[in-house]
Amino acid sequence: MKMRYLILEDGTVFKGNAFGSEEGTIGEVIFTTGMTGYQESISDPSNCGQILTFTYPMVGNYGINADDFESIDLALSGVVIRELAEQPSNFRSNGTLSEFLEAKKVPGIEGIDTRKLTRIIREYGSLKGKLTNAGEEVDVEKIVAELKNTEIPRNEVEQVSTTRPYPSPGRGKRVVLVDFGMKHGILRELNKRDCDIIVVPYNTPAKEILGMFPDGVMLSNGPGDPTDIPEAVEMVKEIIGQVPTFGVCLGHQLISLASGATSFKLKFGHRGGNHPVKDLTTGRTELTSQNHGYAIDADSLANTDLEITHIALNDGTIEGVKHKKFPVFSVQFHPEGSSGPEDSVHLFDQFIELMNAESKKESSHA
Protein backbone atom coordinates (compact mmCIF):
# COMPACT_ATOMS: atom_id res chain seq x y z
CA MET A 1 0.00 0.00 0.00
CA LYS A 2 1.07 3.57 -0.64
CA MET A 3 1.12 6.04 2.22
CA ARG A 4 -1.46 8.79 2.63
CA TYR A 5 -1.95 11.68 5.06
CA LEU A 6 -5.08 12.99 6.74
CA ILE A 7 -4.48 16.61 7.69
CA LEU A 8 -6.97 18.58 9.80
CA GLU A 9 -7.52 22.33 9.69
CA ASP A 10 -6.08 22.64 13.23
CA GLY A 11 -2.76 21.28 11.94
CA THR A 12 -3.08 17.71 13.27
CA VAL A 13 -1.45 15.18 10.91
CA PHE A 14 -2.21 11.46 10.65
CA LYS A 15 -0.03 9.24 8.47
CA GLY A 16 -1.44 5.94 7.23
CA ASN A 17 -1.95 3.68 4.25
CA ALA A 18 -3.97 4.63 1.20
CA PHE A 19 -6.78 2.44 -0.14
CA GLY A 20 -9.64 3.02 -2.53
CA SER A 21 -9.01 5.86 -4.99
CA GLU A 22 -5.49 7.24 -5.33
CA GLU A 23 -6.84 10.78 -5.68
CA GLY A 24 -7.14 12.91 -2.54
CA THR A 25 -10.11 14.93 -1.29
CA ILE A 26 -11.27 17.65 1.10
CA GLY A 27 -14.32 17.35 3.35
CA GLU A 28 -15.77 17.70 6.83
CA VAL A 29 -14.30 14.98 9.07
CA ILE A 30 -16.95 13.22 11.16
CA PHE A 31 -17.27 9.91 13.00
CA THR A 32 -19.82 7.12 13.29
CA THR A 33 -20.05 4.69 16.20
CA GLY A 34 -21.73 1.74 14.47
CA MET A 35 -20.07 -1.64 15.00
CA THR A 36 -21.50 -3.00 11.73
CA GLY A 37 -23.20 -1.53 8.69
CA TYR A 38 -20.25 0.13 7.00
CA GLN A 39 -21.73 -0.51 3.55
CA GLU A 40 -24.97 1.26 4.47
CA SER A 41 -23.00 4.12 6.04
CA ILE A 42 -20.76 4.80 3.06
CA SER A 43 -23.75 4.67 0.70
CA ASP A 44 -25.97 6.96 2.82
CA PRO A 45 -26.48 10.22 0.84
CA SER A 46 -26.62 12.11 4.17
CA ASN A 47 -22.80 11.80 4.24
CA CYS A 48 -22.46 13.95 1.13
CA GLY A 49 -19.14 15.83 1.12
CA GLN A 50 -17.93 14.31 4.39
CA ILE A 51 -14.90 12.23 5.34
CA LEU A 52 -16.37 9.44 7.45
CA THR A 53 -14.37 7.97 10.34
CA PHE A 54 -15.36 4.57 11.75
CA THR A 55 -14.74 4.21 15.48
CA TYR A 56 -15.02 0.42 15.26
CA PRO A 57 -11.42 -0.79 14.75
CA MET A 58 -11.80 -3.27 11.87
CA VAL A 59 -13.81 -2.43 8.77
CA GLY A 60 -14.34 -4.43 5.59
CA ASN A 61 -14.36 -7.87 7.25
CA TYR A 62 -17.57 -9.01 5.53
CA GLY A 63 -16.87 -7.35 2.19
CA ILE A 64 -19.33 -5.58 -0.09
CA ASN A 65 -22.54 -7.26 -1.24
CA ALA A 66 -25.36 -6.50 -3.67
CA ASP A 67 -28.08 -6.06 -1.05
CA ASP A 68 -27.03 -3.46 1.51
CA PHE A 69 -26.74 -0.25 -0.49
CA GLU A 70 -28.70 2.83 0.56
CA SER A 71 -28.02 4.60 -2.76
CA ILE A 72 -26.60 3.70 -6.16
CA ASP A 73 -23.75 6.23 -6.11
CA LEU A 74 -21.54 7.30 -3.23
CA ALA A 75 -21.81 10.90 -2.08
CA LEU A 76 -19.24 10.91 0.73
CA SER A 77 -15.74 12.33 0.16
CA GLY A 78 -13.57 9.82 2.00
CA VAL A 79 -13.26 6.98 4.52
CA VAL A 80 -11.03 6.70 7.61
CA ILE A 81 -10.50 3.40 9.47
CA ARG A 82 -8.10 1.80 11.92
CA GLU A 83 -7.63 -1.56 10.19
CA LEU A 84 -8.74 -2.63 6.72
CA ALA A 85 -9.78 -6.26 6.25
CA GLU A 86 -8.39 -7.25 2.86
CA GLN A 87 -9.73 -10.81 2.86
CA PRO A 88 -13.43 -10.57 3.76
CA SER A 89 -15.30 -13.67 4.86
CA ASN A 90 -19.04 -13.73 4.20
CA PHE A 91 -21.25 -15.83 1.94
CA ARG A 92 -22.80 -12.67 0.46
CA SER A 93 -19.50 -10.90 -0.29
CA ASN A 94 -18.92 -9.88 -3.91
CA GLY A 95 -15.66 -8.00 -3.36
CA THR A 96 -13.57 -5.97 -0.94
CA LEU A 97 -14.24 -2.54 0.48
CA SER A 98 -11.03 -1.22 -1.09
CA GLU A 99 -11.98 -2.49 -4.55
CA PHE A 100 -15.41 -0.94 -4.24
CA LEU A 101 -14.12 2.48 -3.14
CA GLU A 102 -11.54 2.42 -5.93
CA ALA A 103 -14.29 1.74 -8.48
CA LYS A 104 -16.38 4.60 -7.02
CA LYS A 105 -13.34 6.96 -6.91
CA VAL A 106 -13.54 7.48 -3.14
CA PRO A 107 -10.23 7.66 -1.22
CA GLY A 108 -9.60 5.98 2.11
CA ILE A 109 -6.89 5.90 4.76
CA GLU A 110 -6.20 3.07 7.21
CA GLY A 111 -3.71 2.38 9.95
CA ILE A 112 -4.21 5.62 11.89
CA ASP A 113 -5.27 6.12 15.51
CA THR A 114 -9.02 6.62 15.03
CA ARG A 115 -9.51 6.90 18.81
CA LYS A 116 -7.31 9.99 18.87
CA LEU A 117 -9.09 11.44 15.85
CA THR A 118 -12.51 10.83 17.44
CA ARG A 119 -11.42 12.51 20.69
CA ILE A 120 -10.27 15.56 18.72
CA ILE A 121 -13.65 15.81 16.97
CA ARG A 122 -15.53 15.33 20.24
CA GLU A 123 -13.50 18.10 21.90
CA TYR A 124 -13.32 20.65 19.09
CA GLY A 125 -16.28 19.65 16.90
CA SER A 126 -16.30 18.52 13.28
CA LEU A 127 -13.26 19.81 11.38
CA LYS A 128 -12.35 20.26 7.77
CA GLY A 129 -9.72 17.80 6.62
CA LYS A 130 -7.78 16.70 3.59
CA LEU A 131 -6.90 13.18 2.46
CA THR A 132 -3.80 13.59 0.29
CA ASN A 133 -3.09 11.81 -2.96
CA ALA A 134 -1.67 8.31 -2.46
CA GLY A 135 2.12 8.40 -2.13
CA GLU A 136 2.27 12.20 -2.09
CA GLU A 137 4.71 14.07 0.15
CA VAL A 138 3.03 17.12 1.58
CA ASP A 139 3.57 20.64 2.83
CA VAL A 140 1.47 20.65 6.00
CA GLU A 141 1.42 24.44 6.46
CA LYS A 142 0.25 24.92 2.89
CA ILE A 143 -2.54 22.36 3.27
CA VAL A 144 -3.70 23.85 6.60
CA ALA A 145 -3.91 27.28 4.93
CA GLU A 146 -5.83 25.68 2.05
CA LEU A 147 -8.29 24.09 4.48
CA LYS A 148 -8.87 27.33 6.38
CA ASN A 149 -9.72 29.05 3.09
CA THR A 150 -11.95 26.25 1.87
CA GLU A 151 -15.72 26.73 2.10
CA ILE A 152 -17.69 23.51 2.55
CA PRO A 153 -20.36 23.41 -0.23
CA ARG A 154 -23.88 24.11 0.94
CA ASN A 155 -25.75 22.58 -2.00
CA GLU A 156 -25.49 18.98 -0.77
CA VAL A 157 -29.21 18.25 -1.12
CA GLU A 158 -29.15 19.40 -4.74
CA GLN A 159 -26.23 17.04 -5.34
CA VAL A 160 -27.96 13.92 -4.03
CA SER A 161 -31.67 14.44 -4.77
CA THR A 162 -33.27 12.89 -7.84
CA THR A 163 -33.63 15.40 -10.68
CA ARG A 164 -36.97 14.10 -11.95
CA PRO A 165 -39.95 12.21 -10.49
CA TYR A 166 -40.21 8.43 -10.77
CA PRO A 167 -42.71 5.82 -9.52
CA SER A 168 -42.37 2.81 -7.25
CA PRO A 169 -45.81 1.32 -7.87
CA GLY A 170 -48.05 -0.40 -5.36
CA ARG A 171 -51.78 -0.92 -4.82
CA GLY A 172 -52.07 0.68 -1.38
CA LYS A 173 -51.94 4.28 -0.22
CA ARG A 174 -50.44 6.80 -2.61
CA VAL A 175 -47.39 8.45 -1.04
CA VAL A 176 -45.36 11.27 -2.51
CA LEU A 177 -41.83 10.76 -1.19
CA VAL A 178 -39.74 13.94 -1.36
CA ASP A 179 -36.10 12.98 -1.96
CA PHE A 180 -33.64 15.17 -0.04
CA GLY A 181 -31.03 12.40 -0.16
CA MET A 182 -33.27 9.43 0.50
CA LYS A 183 -31.95 6.16 1.90
CA HIS A 184 -33.40 3.20 0.03
CA GLY A 185 -34.42 1.71 3.38
CA ILE A 186 -37.26 4.26 3.58
CA LEU A 187 -38.49 3.23 0.16
CA ARG A 188 -38.26 -0.46 1.14
CA GLU A 189 -40.42 0.05 4.23
CA LEU A 190 -43.11 1.86 2.24
CA ASN A 191 -42.96 -0.84 -0.44
CA LYS A 192 -43.46 -3.52 2.23
CA ARG A 193 -46.73 -1.79 3.07
CA ASP A 194 -47.75 -1.85 -0.61
CA CYS A 195 -47.75 1.95 -0.93
CA ASP A 196 -48.07 3.45 -4.39
CA ILE A 197 -45.05 5.74 -4.29
CA ILE A 198 -43.96 8.67 -6.42
CA VAL A 199 -40.45 9.92 -5.60
CA VAL A 200 -39.99 13.62 -6.42
CA PRO A 201 -37.05 16.09 -6.34
CA TYR A 202 -36.35 18.18 -3.24
CA ASN A 203 -37.49 21.43 -4.90
CA THR A 204 -40.89 20.19 -6.10
CA PRO A 205 -43.54 22.86 -5.29
CA ALA A 206 -46.39 22.01 -2.93
CA LYS A 207 -48.97 22.66 -5.66
CA GLU A 208 -47.34 20.00 -7.86
CA ILE A 209 -47.17 17.51 -4.98
CA LEU A 210 -50.82 18.03 -4.04
CA GLY A 211 -51.71 17.74 -7.73
CA MET A 212 -50.58 14.10 -7.56
CA PHE A 213 -53.50 13.46 -5.14
CA PRO A 214 -51.41 11.76 -2.44
CA ASP A 215 -52.87 10.05 0.60
CA GLY A 216 -49.70 11.11 2.40
CA VAL A 217 -46.36 12.88 1.96
CA MET A 218 -43.06 11.48 3.22
CA LEU A 219 -40.10 13.83 3.72
CA SER A 220 -36.82 11.89 3.53
CA ASN A 221 -33.48 12.21 5.23
CA GLY A 222 -30.71 14.19 3.58
CA PRO A 223 -27.40 15.99 4.14
CA GLY A 224 -26.48 19.41 5.44
CA ASP A 225 -28.16 22.38 7.06
CA PRO A 226 -31.97 22.57 6.67
CA THR A 227 -31.78 26.37 6.31
CA ASP A 228 -29.87 25.87 3.04
CA ILE A 229 -33.09 24.76 1.30
CA PRO A 230 -35.64 27.52 2.08
CA GLU A 231 -37.74 26.45 -0.91
CA ALA A 232 -38.33 23.11 0.83
CA VAL A 233 -39.36 24.87 4.05
CA GLU A 234 -41.92 26.88 2.07
CA MET A 235 -43.20 23.71 0.40
CA VAL A 236 -43.67 22.00 3.79
CA LYS A 237 -45.55 25.05 5.12
CA GLU A 238 -48.08 24.62 2.32
CA ILE A 239 -48.31 20.82 2.78
CA ILE A 240 -49.02 20.92 6.53
CA GLY A 241 -52.76 20.64 7.11
CA GLN A 242 -53.46 19.46 3.58
CA VAL A 243 -52.33 15.83 3.79
CA PRO A 244 -50.84 13.43 6.42
CA THR A 245 -47.09 14.00 6.54
CA PHE A 246 -44.20 12.00 8.00
CA GLY A 247 -40.65 13.40 8.18
CA VAL A 248 -37.38 11.59 8.89
CA CYS A 249 -34.07 13.25 9.81
CA LEU A 250 -33.79 16.29 7.49
CA GLY A 251 -37.53 15.89 6.87
CA HIS A 252 -38.06 16.25 10.63
CA GLN A 253 -36.03 19.44 10.69
CA LEU A 254 -37.98 20.89 7.75
CA ILE A 255 -41.33 20.22 9.45
CA SER A 256 -40.01 21.98 12.57
CA LEU A 257 -38.69 24.99 10.63
CA ALA A 258 -41.91 25.22 8.62
CA SER A 259 -43.81 25.38 11.93
CA GLY A 260 -41.69 28.25 13.27
CA ALA A 261 -38.90 26.44 15.17
CA THR A 262 -35.16 26.95 14.62
CA SER A 263 -32.23 24.57 14.11
CA PHE A 264 -28.62 24.57 15.27
CA LYS A 265 -25.43 22.70 14.39
CA LEU A 266 -24.41 19.98 16.82
CA LYS A 267 -20.80 19.95 17.99
CA PHE A 268 -20.04 16.57 16.43
CA GLY A 269 -23.42 15.16 15.40
CA HIS A 270 -25.15 11.85 16.07
CA ARG A 271 -24.00 9.01 13.84
CA GLY A 272 -24.26 5.27 14.42
CA GLY A 273 -26.73 2.51 15.15
CA ASN A 274 -26.75 2.58 18.94
CA HIS A 275 -28.39 5.86 20.06
CA PRO A 276 -31.02 5.51 22.82
CA VAL A 277 -34.18 7.60 22.34
CA LYS A 278 -37.12 7.88 24.73
CA ASP A 279 -40.64 7.92 23.30
CA LEU A 280 -42.47 10.34 25.60
CA THR A 281 -45.89 9.09 24.47
CA THR A 282 -45.23 5.52 25.63
CA GLY A 283 -42.31 5.87 28.05
CA ARG A 284 -40.46 3.26 26.01
CA THR A 285 -36.76 3.61 25.18
CA GLU A 286 -35.68 2.47 21.71
CA LEU A 287 -32.23 2.06 20.22
CA THR A 288 -32.02 3.99 16.97
CA SER A 289 -29.88 4.52 13.90
CA GLN A 290 -28.86 8.16 13.42
CA ASN A 291 -26.88 10.28 10.99
CA HIS A 292 -27.24 14.04 11.37
CA GLY A 293 -25.20 17.13 12.21
CA TYR A 294 -28.08 19.51 13.02
CA ALA A 295 -30.89 19.45 15.57
CA ILE A 296 -33.98 21.46 16.53
CA ASP A 297 -33.77 24.01 19.35
CA ALA A 298 -36.15 22.82 22.09
CA ASP A 299 -36.93 26.36 23.31
CA SER A 300 -37.94 27.43 19.81
CA LEU A 301 -40.78 24.87 19.81
CA ALA A 302 -42.61 26.70 22.60
CA ASN A 303 -44.52 29.07 20.31
CA THR A 304 -45.30 26.52 17.61
CA ASP A 305 -48.12 24.02 17.10
CA LEU A 306 -45.66 21.16 17.60
CA GLU A 307 -45.21 19.05 20.71
CA ILE A 308 -42.16 16.97 21.57
CA THR A 309 -42.62 13.20 21.29
CA HIS A 310 -39.05 11.86 21.49
CA ILE A 311 -35.80 12.93 23.19
CA ALA A 312 -32.23 11.64 22.93
CA LEU A 313 -31.12 10.10 26.21
CA ASN A 314 -27.43 10.85 25.57
CA ASP A 315 -27.75 14.63 25.35
CA GLY A 316 -31.44 15.54 25.71
CA THR A 317 -31.84 16.89 22.16
CA ILE A 318 -35.16 16.74 20.31
CA GLU A 319 -35.70 13.46 18.46
CA GLY A 320 -39.37 13.67 17.48
CA VAL A 321 -42.37 16.00 17.24
CA LYS A 322 -46.02 15.87 16.23
CA HIS A 323 -48.48 18.56 15.22
CA LYS A 324 -51.19 19.48 17.72
CA LYS A 325 -53.87 20.07 15.06
CA PHE A 326 -52.95 18.13 11.92
CA PRO A 327 -51.83 14.54 11.09
CA VAL A 328 -48.16 15.49 10.89
CA PHE A 329 -45.25 13.91 12.78
CA SER A 330 -41.52 13.45 12.42
CA VAL A 331 -38.44 11.88 13.98
CA GLN A 332 -34.78 12.84 13.87
CA PHE A 333 -33.57 9.23 13.79
CA HIS A 334 -33.94 6.58 11.07
CA PRO A 335 -36.87 4.28 11.91
CA GLU A 336 -36.00 1.92 9.04
CA GLY A 337 -32.62 1.08 10.67
CA SER A 338 -30.43 0.37 7.62
CA SER A 339 -28.09 -0.26 9.23
CA GLY A 340 -28.97 -0.57 12.85
CA PRO A 341 -31.84 -1.62 15.11
CA GLU A 342 -35.42 -1.71 13.85
CA ASP A 343 -37.01 -0.83 17.20
CA SER A 344 -38.84 2.12 15.61
CA VAL A 345 -40.00 0.58 12.32
CA HIS A 346 -43.56 0.70 13.70
CA LEU A 347 -43.59 4.43 12.86
CA PHE A 348 -44.23 3.50 9.22
CA ASP A 349 -47.35 1.66 10.40
CA GLN A 350 -48.34 4.79 12.31
CA PHE A 351 -48.04 6.75 9.05
CA ILE A 352 -50.31 4.24 7.28
CA GLU A 353 -52.83 4.53 10.15
CA LEU A 354 -52.84 8.32 9.82
CA MET A 355 -53.58 8.05 6.10
CA ASN A 356 -56.35 5.49 6.72
CA ALA A 357 -57.93 7.71 9.39
CA GLU A 358 -57.85 10.72 7.06
CA SER A 359 -59.45 8.69 4.27
CA LYS A 360 -62.27 7.67 6.61
CA LYS A 361 -62.89 11.32 7.54
CA GLU A 362 -63.13 12.28 3.87
CA SER A 363 -65.49 9.37 3.18
CA SER A 364 -67.79 10.38 6.02
CA HIS A 365 -67.92 13.97 4.72
CA ALA A 366 -68.67 12.88 1.17
CATH number, residue 258: 3.40.50.880
Q: Are residues 137 and 175 in the same domain?
A: no
Q: Are residues 299 and 176 in the same domain?
A: yes
pLDDT tens digits for 52-110? Answer: 999 999 999 999 999 999 999 999 999 999 999 999 999 999 999 999 999 999 999 99
Final residue before a domain boundary, out of 152, 180, 195: 152
Q: Are residues 86 and 196 in the same domain?
A: no
Final residue before a domain boundary, out of 117, 152, 187: 152
Contact 321, 302 (CB under 8 A): no
Angle value at C-alpha 32, between 89 and 341, nearest 5 degrees: 70
For residues 255 and 167, give the distance between their C-alpha atoms in angstroms, rounded to a whole number: 24
pLDDT tens digits for 180-239? Answer: 999 999 999 999 999 999 999 999 999 999 999 999 999 999 999 999 999 999 999 999
Q: Are residues 88 and 208 in the same domain?
A: no
- DSSP class per residue in 176-237: EEEESS--HHHHHHHHHTT-EEEEEETT--HHHHHTT--SEEEE---SS-GGG-HHHHHHHH
Closest to 106 (Cα-Cα) out of 79, 66, 133: 79
For residues 110 and 82, give the distance between their C-alpha atoms in angstroms, rounded to a whole number: 5
Domain that holds residue 92: 3-152
For residues 233 and 35, give the distance between their C-alpha atoms in angstroms, rounded to a whole number: 35
Q: Are residues 240 and 261 in the same domain?
A: yes
CATH number, residue 40: 3.50.30.20
For residues 173 and 284, give the distance between their C-alpha atoms in angstroms, rounded to a whole number: 29
pTM score above 0.75: yes
Catalytic site positions: 249, 334, 336
pLDDT tens digits for 236-277? Answer: 999 999 999 999 999 999 999 999 999 999 999 999 999 999
Q: Are residues 110 and 70 in the same domain?
A: yes
Per DSSP bridges, beta strands 166-168 and 196-201 are antiparallel
- DSSP 3-state assignment of 116? helix
Final residue before a domain boundary, out of 103, 121, 152: 152
Domains in the chain, number: 2
